[in-house]
Amino acid sequence: MSFLQRCLLRSWIPVTTIARTRCPSYSTAVHGSLERTLVAVKPDGVQRRLIGDIIKRFEQRGFKLVGMKLLQASEGVLSEHYHDLRRKPFYPALIRYMVSGPVVAMVWEGHNVVRSSRLMVGETDSAQAKPGTIRGDFSVHISRNVVHASDSAEVAEREISLWFHSAELISWETSDHRDLYQM
């Protein structure tokens, strides 16, 4: 087993952190593009029993689930999560929506997962989201767009640490890794 694989298996430190600090071969290996991102099923998605459908899409794509929990989000976490939107007219309604019921927060890992998950989720405005995307298949209005996904690697890192303690993230090896990635 390579040093990198040992890093990925044993450490709870986010992959990008390990890679930057401990694994010099990271940038040249396939793991050079391994990322983690935060995906959340919003309260409308939970109410509408869409959790399974949403998880299924990330599983079948080949991404790896490394953290997941059902929780009632606090206004404190949400105000940090949506800090950049705090001056938008829809912000109060957005917070009311996000505290209206439980959410399922997840961390998914894989090659280019930040960009790919945004493409899988679709446009913010459900009316513009293409069929085949989660929002395009399961929602009709921007205010109830069923799912969240981080929009950049930097944002993903910040959001993951906001929603998860590091010990809640599991580094594990999938048995189909060699079928999904060139080694």
Which stretch in 22-30, 54-62, 147-155, 169-177 sits in contact with Mg ion by CB under 5 A? Answer: 147-155
Helices (H), the chain: 3-10, 15-22, 43-47, 51-61, 75-81, 91-98, 113-121, 134-138, 153-163, 177-180
Least Cβ distance, residue 94 to ligand UDP (angstroms): 5
What does the alpha-carbon distance between residue 182 and residue 180 come to, in Å, rounded to a whole number?
A: 7
Based on CB atoms, which residue is closest to ligand UDP, 16 or 139?
139
Least spacing, CB of residue 151 vs Mg ion, in Å: 5
- Cβ nearer to ligand UDP, comparing 31 with 42: 42
The secondary structure of residue 131, as a DSSP letter, is B
Closest to ligand UDP by CB, 116 vs 145, is 145
Distance CA(155)–CA(103), nearest Å, equals 19
| Cβ neighbours of residue 142 closer than 8 Å, sequence gap 6 or more | 124, 125, 126, 127
Q: Among all residues, which ones are annotated catalytic?
A: 148
Q: Which residue in the shown chain puts its C-beta closest to ligand UDP?
A: 124
Give the interface with ligand UDP as residue ranges (CB under 6 A): 85, 90, 94, 124, 142-143, 145, 148, 151
Number of chain residues interacting with Mg ion (CB under 5 A)? 1
